[in-house]
Structures are given as C-alpha cells and as structure tokens.
A and B are shown apart, each in its own frame.
Chain A
Amino acid sequence: MLEVRKISKVYGEGEARVVALDNVSLRIADGDFKAIMGPSGSGKSTLLNIIGGLDTPSDGEVVLGGKRIDNLDENGLVEIRRGEIAYIFQQYHLLPSLTAFENVILPLLFRGIEGKFGEARRMLARVGLEKRAEHKPSQLSGGEQQRVAIARALIDDPKVLLADEPTGNMDQKTGGEILDLFKQLNKEGRAIVMVTHNPEIAKHAREIIVLCDGRIADRLNNRKENKV
C-alpha cells in the first residue's frame, strides 16, 4: 500500500554535492514491519522522511494507497500527516510547554477536533501513562516521553507508523518495553517502518533493509528465521 519507486535524494551542487539516496525502491504492505539498518550517514533517516512526506525526493515516486504523494504541495502533505502516517522520533519531539495529555491531543487540535479528548486519555492509558497525563515532558523519563510520543502518533489512528531510532536513547529494559508496544501495534494491523542501529531490535521486524551509501545493500527476511 505504501511504495517508494527508484527514489534518489541529492543535497547541494557541484563539489558539495552529496547523494543521500540512490535509486532505492521499497514496498510496505498493510501490516508490514520493516527495519532499516545501516551505518551513520547511509541515508536511513532521509529514506524515512521521504516515505512519510517530511522530505521530497530529488527523483522517483512515493505512492500511498495508489496515489503519488512525492509531488503533493504542503496542503496535500498536511492531509497525509493527519491520519495516514504518523512519526515517532528518537528525540521524542514533544512540545516542552505542554503536558503529556496536551501533547497527545495536539494532532486533534490541528485537525479542529475538540470532542475526542477522551480518546487521548485512552491512548495514554494504553501506553501505561494515565497517571502522568498532567506532567510536562521535562518531568518524564526518556521511556515515558517516548510513550507519550507513541500515544500522540496513535491518536489519529494511522495506518503507517514511521519510527526513527525510537529506542536509541533508552536502556535495554525500557527499549524492550517500547519495542513490545510496537509489536502489539503491528499485530493490530498497523504497518511499521523503524530505523535502528540495534540488531536486537531489528530482528523483530519481518524484513530488514540494510542501507549503505544511499543504496540498498541487503534485504534480510526474518519471517522464516523467526518461525524456525
């Protein structure tokens, strides 16, 4: 349902020209779980940003549900971000002035929905933070902040979750808890694309895409291995 076809991303011109992605193609089916791995600077985050419409490719197409989204204008992309695709970042990216609850309802606010605030409580409860709803991000641990970010991503009931190193700032135990949450969300039928450095995390995905110098260097299918 989400497909990138032969995309490239080039930054700068002349001598400063950097090719971040080079002819990358990828298919993300409904309910898929993909991990993107690779060394720093291999283009992982750029790929994720382009998949989600946060960045535009220099060449190639991004197709979501049969429609191209790489050539959408800002207004079109806003619609994609409202409900179709949601992001989870390594740095959580919560607004520091708002409480956990307020951060979670932010997407609803931008969509002009005011009646569904009970849903935000439900989402916070789902990630185990119902008692921390009135805390500001600065009063929460890294794991808790990431849970808030996940609750915020879920509030719009997106079909695709894009996560950029979601456990990168966490110890093993907390990272494991967050990963369990992702697995649960995947079981519910949401497609997940996760950028990670950690092979332990990546092995939970159905497929691992290994990027190197902007190209897909390897594709590892975990499904069989998991079954074995």
Chain B
Amino acid sequence: MKFYRVVLKDVWRRKRRVLFAVIGVLIGTMTVVGIFTITRAGEARMLEQMEKYGPNLTVMPAISNVDMQLGDLSLGTLSVGENYIPEEKLLQIREIADSEIKEIMGIEEEGDIATLAPKLYVNTRIKDTSVMVVGIDPLPELNIKTWWRIGGGEYLNSNSQALVGAVAAELLELKEGDPIDLNGEKVTIAGVLEETGSDEDYQIFVPLPTLQQAFDKEGLVSSVDIRALCNACPVVMIADDINNLIPGVRAIAVQQIASAEMEMMSRINRFMLALAGITLAVGLFGVGNTMMRSVNERTKDIGIMRAVGASQPQIMKLFIYEAIVIGVIGGIFGYLAGTLLAYGLGPVVFGVSAINPIPQYFPLALGLAIGVAVVATIYPAFRATRVKVAYSFRSL
C-alpha cells in the first residue's frame, strides 16, 4: 500500500464532504474555461470575418438625421438625403480607390484594381411572402463573396436568371428552374446558394439591370461594396477620400467597424475574466472552509496517525494529497462543464454558434483547479499538523 492510497480511501469514505469541495473548485474552473472558450470562438469568428471582409469598404447614400425643433419643442427627426446612389458616381469611386491603391502599392500600369460590386435592394412579395431582392453585378459580386457556393444549379449567366439564398429557397419552396415574377418581370431560378449563416440566406439575387428595370430604378444603386485587393490596402484612406470628394455618399471601411467590435469584445472579456476571478476566489474559500471542517472532524484520525508515527510533514502531505484529488476531479469536470457552458452561452453572449472544445485549456483547467485546492488547503493542513495527540481523543 502506498501513502496516497490512505488518502484515496479516506476521500472515498467521506465522499459527500469531498464533493462539496470539488464543486467549489469545479464552478471556478468551469467559469474560467467557459469564458476562455467563448472568447476564443468569438475571436476566431472575428478573424474569419476580417478575412472575409477585411479589405472591404461599403459605400452608402449619405443620410443625415436633422433634429426638428420649434422653440424648445422637439418635433422628432427628419432624414435628409438620397436613398440611392446614382450609377455615375461609381466611376468616381473607382477612380479614387484605384489611385490610392496604386500609389501605396507603387503600381504604375493602367487598368482597374479594386473590385466594385454595386447593389440595389428592393423589398417585394413573392408567393405572398415579403422578400428582399438584391440586384447585383454577377462577376464582381462573386469576386467579393468568395465564400458563396452554389448548392443546386449554377451561377447567374443571363439577365433573366435569379439566385436564391438557402433559407429563402426553403421557405418559398423554390428550386432550380422555377420561374418567379418580379413586379411583372419574369426570371428563372438558375441556382440555390448553400447556407452562409448571414442575411444572404434570406435573399434573392438577380442581375442589377433586371431589378432596376422591374422597379423603375434605372441608373440607381443602394450601396456599393469595394474589395481593395490586398489586406495592406489603405481602405481607411480610400474611405476618407470618398467621403471628402464625393458628395451624397458615405464610405466606411469594414476594418473600422471590426476594430470597434474588437474593442467592445475585449472589454466584455476583461469583465468576464474579473467575474471568473471572483468565482475562483469564492471557490477558494469554499474549499478552505470544507477542509477546515474536515480537519476538525478528523482530529481523532489525525491523532491516531500521529500516535502510530506520522510526522507533522506527513499529516500536511495527507491533506495536500487530498487537495490534489479534489483539484484533479474539479479540474476534469470543470473543463467539461466549462466547455458545455460555452456551448450554452456562446450564442447568447457573442452570437458565436461555432464553439469548439479547446484541448489546450484542459491542462490550464487542471492546473488552476489543483492550484486553488492546494492553496485553500495550506492553512487547514497546517492546523492539522498542530493537533495534539493527547487532546485529539478527548472529544470522545
């Protein structure tokens, strides 16, 4: 028999009491692992988004809200500005984007560099259901939406075709070859997009001229996405130039939005880590309390062990071993519970649905749990070494 077997047997005998200590450690570890896992998934998603949209800008009509007042009376706000961007402005936008990129990258050749994907959004009813139909320029759109995959059928080849988002196809029961009517304009479904997890799933895409014609919006677009070709491209400068030089439009670099979101996220992370720290501290006191009670309850056992030759360091060791057992159990289940917590809370907190268990956090969880249990046990264990043999049997 080894020394640790004495501990294991005693832990088994007092399993209920030990369970309380384990739960204390478990909750702390679970919180930390859960938060780390969610954070990691959130960052991964953010990076993925950056990868997708990083070098992009979006140009929209500039609409400003003017506060209407009469004396001290507020009459609400009035939106001022155009709802559409005239297509002529696309040329100016392209010119600005290209010249900035060429300057930064030292490119001297003529020719287009940035990809411009204009869009026109129209809400209409198809099969008595309200749907967002998006007019697109098929080739540049595909350049920007590198993640698009056609689930059934093919991509847009002619002006009388439409592409349907995955959810829209399901809701409207549309499939390849089905005709749809857009305000009198007939188009045929060329293909259905695979699910992308974004708004695109609910939309129907048709070539821009087709939509403009059907809804009398010739020469107008709702927004323009610009892909700047490279991650190092000066998208923020391009956005500034467009804002300064072209009246009536507003350009935003996706990076700007992303960095604001990142900042927000790291604040939430810090807050949650502070919470996890508090949970760990509470766990520490929980374990300390349980261990202290355990020392008091086992005064007699400690006395017996001292009487048959246990030294003070050996008594200390017994309790530290017990703490390690508590830490190991708490760490293993804390890691599992934390991962489950992340599955449960991830979608709520960060809208992150793709939570992956992170094995690297397992040793972290184990170390943390053992650390907390051992630290919490040091004082009670010290008290245990001070038990006087002659007095330990008195309580009988």
B390 x A54 contact (CB < 8 A): yes
Alpha-carbon gap, A94 to B304, bound state (A): 7
Q: How far is the CA of A85 from the CA of B304 in the complex (A)?
A: 14
Contact A89-B393, Cβ < 8 Å, known A97-B12, A106-B308: yes
Q: How would residues 1 to 17 of chain B score, 1 for a CB under 8 Å from any chain A CB and 0 otherwise? A: 11101100110110000
Distance, CA A63 to CA B393, complexed state (A): 25
Tell me which of A75, A91, A109, A111 contacts B393 (CB under 8 A).
A91
* Segment 102-158 of A: residues with Cβ below 8 Å from B: 102, 105-107, 109-111, 114, 117, 152, 156
Residue B300 at the chain A interface, CB threshold 8 Å? yes
Chain A to chain B contacts (Cβ below 8 Å), 24 pairs = A54-B389, A55-B388, A55-B390, A74-B311, A74-B312, A78-B310, A87-B307, A91-B393, A93-B300, A93-B303, A93-B304, A93-B307, A95-B304, A97-B9, A97-B12, A98-B9, A102-B5, A105-B1, A107-B308, A107-B309, A109-B6, A110-B310, A110-B311, A110-B314
A110 touches B309 (CB 8 A): yes
Q: Which residues of B contact A87 (CB under 8 A)?
A: 307-308
A5 to B300, CA, bound (A): 30
Which of A55, A78, A94, A98 is in CB contact (< 8 Å) with B6?
A98
B75 on the interface (CB 8 Å rule)?
no
Determine if B309 and A78 form an interchain contact, defined as CB atoms under 8 angstroms apart.
Answer: yes
> Complex Cα distance A23/B328, Å?
54
Q: Distance in Å from the Cβ of B25 to the closest Cβ of chain A?
A: 22
Q: Which of B300, B303, B390 gathers the greatest number of chain A CB atoms within 10 Å?
A: B390
Residues of A within 8 A of B (CB): 46, 49, 54-55, 74-75, 78, 81-82, 86-87, 89, 91, 93-98, 102, 105-107, 109-111, 114, 117, 152, 156
State whether A82 touches B389 (Cβ < 8 A).
no
For the A-B complex, the count of residue pairs with Cβ-Cβ distances under 8 Å equals: 74
Whether B301 pairs with A95 at a CB distance below 8 angstroms is: yes
Question: Which partner residue on chain A sits nearest B9 by CB separation?
Answer: A97
Is B104 an interface residue when CB atoms closer than 8 A count as contact? no
B308 contacts A81, C-beta separation under 8 Å: yes
- Identify 8 new A-B residue pairs, CB closer than 8 A, beyond the known A55-B390, A81-B307, A106-B6: A78-B309, A78-B312, A93-B304, A102-B6, A102-B9, A106-B305, A110-B311, A110-B314
Partner of A109, one of B1, B12, B389, B390: B1
Could you tell me if A110 and B388 are in contact, using CB atoms closer than 8 angstroms? Answer: no
A110 touches B305 (CB 8 A): yes
Q: Is the CB of A117 within 8 A of B1?
A: yes
A25 CA to B393 CA, complexed, in Å = 25
Instruction: For the complex of A and B, list the 4 residue pairs with the smallest distance between their C-beta atoms, beginning with the closest.
Output: A55-B390, A97-B13, A82-B309, A110-B309
